[in-house]
Amino acid sequence: MVSKVPPSQIIIRPPVEAHSVLIAVTGGCSWNRCRFCGTYKGIYGTIQDYAIIPLEDVLKEIDYYAEKNYHRYPVFLAGGNPTSAPTEYLVKIIRYVRLRLKNVPRVSSYAKALDLLRKTDEELKQLAEAGLDIVYMGLESGSSKILRIMKKGTNAESMIKAGKKALNSGIKLSLYVMLGLGGKKYSEDHVKGTARVLTEINPTIFRFRTLNILPNTPLWKEWKNGEFELLSPVECLKEERDIIENLGENVNSQVFNDHISNYCSIETPNIKEDREIFIKTLDSYINDPRIKNLPRKNLISM
C-alpha cells in the first residue's frame, strides 16, 4: 500500500550524512521525472509531492536540535533539492543553523543543476557566505544522449555550467556518477561523456553509484521486457576503470565508492595522485574470476 507523506518527513539522505542533524527544508523533488528514480514515486511505500516547508517550521526544528544539545554535528538540509527554494529563504535557514548550533563542521544539501543555473552568481555567493559548505548533485552521466533518454531534464553542457557556478561561488561540489546508466547499448557513450564532464568541472568530490532498477520506476518495465540491458558487476567495474583512465590530468577530485549498490569500496583523497594505483586496483577486481562470475545484486530497496 502506498501512502502520501508530508514534506517534513525525510525519505533519503546521502550515506555520508548518516550521523548528521537532518533538517527538512523541502519535500519531494521539483523535477521528479527521472526514469531511473522512484524515490518520491512510491518506491518506499510513500509518495511525496514537492513542497517548500514554511520558514517558521524549519526554524522551530533548528531550535529543537539546539535545545537538545545537538552541537558539533554536520547539518544536512533535507529534501530532493532544497536549492530550488528562494535564496533569501535558504540564507535565513543557513544563518540560523550557524547561530543556534555551535561548532557545526558542515552544512550541506542536495542540488539539481537546474537549481544552480536559475540562481545568479551573486545568489550562490550569498549561500556560501551564509555557510552552505557543499552540495550533492546527480551528474549520473556526462552523455547528453543518456541524460535525454533518462529524462534528467538537462544535458552535459548544463551540468558543466552548473558545476562550475557552484565551485566559483565558494560552494564545494560532490557529484554522483551512476555506473551502467546507459545499459550495454550506450556504455561507451557513458564512459567518454562522463570522463569529459568530470574533467571540465573538476569537482571537489565525485562518487560512484551502480544502477539498480527499482519497482515503480519507468525503467523497470523496459528492463523486464528486455529493452534495457543491465551491465554485469565486472562490466560496471570496467566502466569505472575507463572513466578514471579517461580523466584529464587536471582532475584532482576526491573519489568514493560509498554506496551499497557498488561492487568495490576503493577511494582516494586525490585521484590525480592516485590514478595509477586506483586503475590497478580496479584491474585486479576485473581480472578476478570470482568477480567475473559474480551475480548482480539487483537491489529493490536501498
Query: Among 125-129, 168-172, 257-261, which stretch is predicted with the lowest mean pLDDT?
Result: 257-261
pLDDT(42) > 80? no
pLDDT(125) > 90? yes
For residues 148 and 170, give the distance between their C-alpha atoms in angstroms, rounded to a whole number: 29
Mean pLDDT of 192-206: 98
Neighbours of 173 (CB within 10 A): 25
Q: Which residue's C-alpha cell is 536549492?
A: 83
* pLDDT value of residue 44: 64
Q: Is 43 exposed, middle or buried (0-12, 13-18, 19+ CB in 10 A)?
A: buried
At 35, list the grid cell: 526514469
Cα-to-chain-centroid distance, residue 131: 20
**24 strand-pairing partners:** 78
Mean pLDDT of 4-29: 92
Assign 296 to helix, strand or coil.
Answer: coil
Rg for the chain, CA atoms, rounded? 19
- Binned at pLDDT 50, 70 and 90, residue 170 comes out as very high
- Binned at pLDDT 50, 70 and 90, residue 46 comes out as confident
pTM of the model: 0.95
pLDDT(136) > 60? yes
- Binned at pLDDT 50, 70 and 90, residue 231 comes out as very high
- Binned at pLDDT 50, 70 and 90, residue 1 comes out as low
* pLDDT value of residue 43: 67
For residues 128 and 131, give the distance between their C-alpha atoms in angstroms, rounded to a whole number: 5
Task: Note whether 1-132 and 137-294 share their fold.
Answer: yes
Assign 182 to helix, strand or coil.
Answer: coil
pLDDT(115) > 70? yes
Domain boundary assignment for the chain: 1-132, 137-294
Give me the chain's average pLDDT, please. 94
Mean pLDDT of 163-180: 98
Per DSSP, 41 falls in state B
Evaluate whether 74 touches 18 at the Cβ level (below 8 Å): no
For residues 122 and 119, give the distance between their C-alpha atoms in angstroms, rounded to a whole number: 8
* pLDDT value of residue 148: 97
List Cα–Cα distances, 158 to 35, 163, 230, in angstroms. 19, 8, 27
For residues 25 and 236, give the distance between their C-alpha atoms in angstroms, rounded to a whole number: 34
* pLDDT value of residue 215: 84
List Cα–Cα distances, 11 to 5, 41, 50, 204, in angstroms. 9, 11, 12, 26
For residues 58 and 100, give the distance between their C-alpha atoms in angstroms, rounded to a whole number: 12
**137 strand-pairing partners:** 111, 175
Architecture of the domain defined by 1-132: 2-Layer Sandwich (3.30)
Evaluate whether 207 touches 258 at the Cβ level (below 8 Å): yes
Query: Quick one: which H or E segment has residue 85?
Result: none
Question: pLDDT of 65-95, one tens digit each?
Answer: 999 999 999 999 999 999 999 999 999 999 9
Mean pLDDT of 277-282: 97
Architecture of the domain defined by 137-294: 2-Layer Sandwich (3.30)
Strands 26-27, 51-52: pairing is antiparallel
Evaluate whether 194 touches 139 at the Cβ level (below 8 Å): yes
Evaluate whether 119 touches 162 at the Cβ level (below 8 Å): no
